[in-house]
Each structure stands twice: as C-alpha cells, then as structure tokens.
Amino acid sequence: MRLEDEDKQAIFEIVAARYFTTQSWKWVNLRKDINKILKAFDELNEQYASYSYVSRDWYVENMGSKYIHMCSTWEELKNFVTFLNTHGSAFNFLVNTGNRKSFCIVSDTRDLSEVQANAIKEVQKLGYNTFIFLATVPDEIEFQLLQVRGVN
C-alpha cells in the first residue's frame, strides 16, 4: 500500500513526540494544540479584564494552561501568539529541552520551503532555537489482511 504524504507526516510526528518524551522534554504539537494556545491567550485577557488589579504576568505564570504555551511573562506570551498567528503553520512542535525553548519542523528532507525558511528567521528574532527532525518512512508499507472465523 502506498503511503500518502499526510500519512508520512503523521508518522514523523509520532516518532518525534516519542523522541522528545524519551529525552524528558516538554513538548506541544502545534498542529493539534494551536487552538488551545490561542484559547488560553483569550482566557487570560478575559481574566485580566475582569480583575485588572492582578498583573498579566501573574496570570501567565499561574494559569493552568501554562503547560500548553510554556511562557513565563505576558510579553513573551503576546509575542508567541502573534508569531503563531503569522508563522505557526510552518512548525510542528514547540519543545522545551529544559535549557531553552525551540520550534521544531519534522520532515524527510533537509530542504526547507520558503515559508519555513522565513518562519525560522522570524522565530530566531524572538530568541527561540529551531530543530529539524529528519525521519525516513518508506513510500510503501506491506501488510496482510487475515480473516479469523468464529465458531458457529
């Protein structure tokens, strides 16, 4: 059976996530969780609008959604969300290695699209590293379909 590009991409993401987990790194799949990040940002703004006597930095640091955006200050979160709205689709993961946060692209080639290259330049301006997680998946996968009959 021939694998489609989206099938390969899903496999790449599974392999990358497994690697990040075995390294004990915190990570977020941006393809799946970007809406959660944007929602957390909106909720923080709503909380601040209701209780503006508490600093936005306090909300960022203490909201339960911190695990999803990994930001420590309002300025960092605001810049992160602005970046995601513009260039987020170029990346697959946000990874925190413990030392630094990095954006990650998973691919089967070292060649970057123009969109990815521009996004990397922009994310570096924000102080993030970039990883390219290279993986190889065959174009075709072999399988067998076995029928198991029940007892009548």
Per-residue pLDDT of 32-60, as tens digits, reads 999 999 999 999 989 888 888 888 999 89
Is it the case that residue 109 has pLDDT exceeding 90?
no
Task: Provide the pLDDT for residue 99.
Answer: 86
H, E, C per residue of 102-128: EEEEEECCCCCCHHHHHHHHHHHHCCC
- Give how far the C-alpha of residue 144 lies from the chain's centroid of Cα atoms, to the nearest Å: 34
Distances, alpha carbon 54 to alpha carbons 1, 61, 73, 132, in Å: 57, 12, 13, 39
Q: Residue range 120-131: average pLDDT? A: 92
Is it the case that residue 138 has pLDDT exceeding 90?
no
Task: Provide the pLDDT for residue 152.
Answer: 66
> Which of 72, 86, 70, 64 has its CA nearest to residue 29?
70
Rounded distance between C-alpha atoms, residue 103 and residue 93, angstroms: 6
Give residue 58's region: left, alpha or beta (phi > 0; psi -120 to 50). Answer: alpha
